[in-house]
């Protein structure tokens, strides 16, 4: 079977690719385990650290239809659509966000429709689809009122995926990803970048800036658990999600203060002291519009994995990814 990951050279795409290569198989449309013969990783850069005969890197811009058309063919029966312009960048460059987050998503779905194979499409949406005056716990029945262009674009992607699924063009599954923490590597243009930076940089011996207050509440998930959820979403039978193919994932709800407490407990007060508190009103406003907790009972009842605590998340980073 041929599997495609867009954004396949990104942090999450590479982890997912490694997870799939280790696993070796995925369900086909009839629920039978099939070996992954080809894993196409589409991104603006090649996936540097993935050496495997099954991996085929495709480098280019997914907003160019010809690039996607060369990848989304009749044999591509499983597609993980992760490529996106992140929140901060989509807010800074509206047109770029629309082109990648909306237009490329639509092109991808159109190519699936043209080929008529009804592939499984796992789409990474975000809790940024929620916003405004939210209840303390957001439910799947809560209206999507995004307060950022990124959230708007992801909500449009969800609507398209649902309608393309309803019409039988694809077999879609949209996951509303919590903020991912702790991401390894460098800060990125996401407004949520600090949610990894305030743990990662201090552990690696570097200073970090925290642009929000201690009582800011986040809905988080560790990288390993996100990868587990992406695979679990793919493996669901077609009818498991019914008419609503958008799913809240089981994150953990913590304040920034609690995150720093975990860091202090596990790495020491001197490490946590590397955090500088410099409030950025723009980031604080975007973050305050995101939900601090979501009802993910549907995903939980479908068997999706979850993190046990933020202490566990910090331990996972210290064991697997620390560079300092």
Residues forming a β-bridge with 56: 40
Q: Catalytic site residue 150?
A: yes
Of these, 74, 166, 214, 285, which contacts a second copy (CB under 8 A)? 166
CA trace torsion 158, 126, 91, 47 (10° rounding): -100
Interface pick for a second copy out of 27, 147, 188, 238 (rule CB under 8 A): 147
Q: List Cα–Cα distances, 56 to 5, 52, 64, in angstroms.
A: 10, 9, 19
Number of residues that bind a second copy (CB under 8 A): 24
Report the residue number, 32 or 167, with the smaller CB distance to a second copy. 167
Closest contact distance (angstroms) between CB of 259 and a second copy is 28
User: Which one of residues 85, 160, 272, 286 is an interface residue with a second copy (CB under 8 A)?
Assistant: 160
**117 contributes a contact to a second copy by CB under 8 A:** no
- The residue from 38, 56, 117, 162 that contacts a second copy (CB under 8 A) is 162
The pair of three-digit structure tokens given for residue 184, joined into one six-digit string: 């390894």
Instruction: Give all strands of the β-sheet with 55-59 in edge-to-edge order.
Output: 55-59, 38-43, 2-6, 76-81, 120-126, 171-177, 246-248
- How far CA 98 is from CA of 90, 144, 149, in Å, comes to 8, 18, 8
DSSP lists the bridge partners of residue 276 as 209
Q: Binding a second copy by CB under 8 A: which of 31, 116, 132, 185?
A: 132
Residue 81 has phi, psi (to 5 degrees) of -100, 90
Residues 179-238, interacting with a second copy (CB under 8 A): none
Task: Tell the smallest beta-carbon distance from residue 180 to a second copy (Å).
Answer: 24
Question: Based on CB atoms, which residue is closest to a second copy, 45 or 159?
Answer: 159
Q: Give 44 or 159: the residue with its C-beta nearer to a second copy.
A: 159
CA dist., res. 197 & res. 203, Å (int): 10
- 74 contact partners, CB below 8 Å, separation of at least 6: 115, 116, 117
Q: Is 191 helix (H, G, I), strand (E, B) or coil?
A: coil
Q: Which is nearer to a second copy, 225 or 246 (CB)?
A: 246
Q: By CB under 8 A, is residue 294 in contact with a second copy?
A: no
Cβ 248 to a second copy shortest distance, Å: 11
Find the shortest distance in angstroms from Cβ 294 to a second copy. Answer: 13
Least distance in angstroms from the C-beta of 47 to a second copy? 32
Cα-based distances in Å from 214 to 9, 204, 211: 33, 21, 10
Binding positions for a second copy, 230-289, rule CB under 8 A: 243-244
HSE-up (13 A, CA, CB side) for residue 220: 28
Q: x/- binding map, residues 64-93, to a second copy, per CB under 8 A? A: ------------------------------
Please give the structure tokens belonging to residue 312.
């566990």
* Nearest to 81, CA basis, from 127, 43, 118, 123: 123
Give the residues lining the site for a second copy (CB under 8 A).
94, 131-133, 140-147, 149, 152, 155-156, 159-160, 162-163, 166-167, 243-244
Residues catalogued as catalytic: 150
């Amino acid at each position: 079977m041929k599997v495609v990951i867009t954004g396949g050279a990104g942090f999450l795409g590479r982890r997912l690719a490694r997870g799939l290569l280790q696993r070796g198989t995925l369900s086909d449309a009839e629920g039978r385990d099939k070996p992954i013969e080809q894993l196409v990783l589409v991104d603006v850069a090649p996936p540097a650290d993935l050496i495997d005969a099954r991996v085929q890197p495709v480098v280019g811009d997914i907003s160019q239809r010809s690039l996607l058309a060369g990848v989304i063919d009749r044999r591509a029966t499983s597609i993980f659509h992760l490529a996106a312009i992140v929140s901060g960048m989509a807010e800074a460059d509206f047109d770029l966000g629309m082109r990648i987050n909306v237009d490329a998503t639509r092109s991808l779905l159109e190519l699936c429709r043209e080929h008529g194979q009804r592939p499984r499409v796992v789409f990474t949406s975000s809790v940024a689809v929620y916003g405004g005056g939210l209840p303390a716990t957001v439910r799947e029945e809560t209206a999507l009122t995004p307060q950022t262009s990124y959230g708007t674009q992801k909500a449009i992607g969800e609507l398209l995926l649902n309608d393309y699924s309803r019409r039988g063009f694809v077999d879609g599954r949209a996951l509303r990803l919590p903020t991912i923490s702790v991401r390894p590597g460098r800060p990125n243009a996401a407004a949520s970048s600090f949610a990894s930076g305030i743990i990662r940089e201090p552990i690696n011996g570097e200073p970090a800036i925290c642009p929000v207050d201690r009582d800011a509440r986040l809905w988080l998930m560790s990288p390993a658990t996100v990868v587990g959820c992406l695979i679990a979403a793919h493996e669901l039978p077609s009818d498991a999600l019914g008419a609503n193919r958008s799913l809240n994932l089981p994150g953990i709800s913590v304040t920034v203060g609690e995150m720093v407490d975990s860091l202090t407990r596990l790495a020491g007060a001197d490490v946590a002291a590397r955090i500088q508190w410099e409030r950025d009103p723009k980031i604080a406003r975007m973050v305050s519009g995101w939900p601090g907790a979501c009802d993910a009972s549907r995903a939980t009842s479908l068997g999706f994995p979850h993190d046990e605590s933020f202490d566990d998340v910090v331990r996972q980073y210290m064991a697997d990814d620390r560079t300092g």
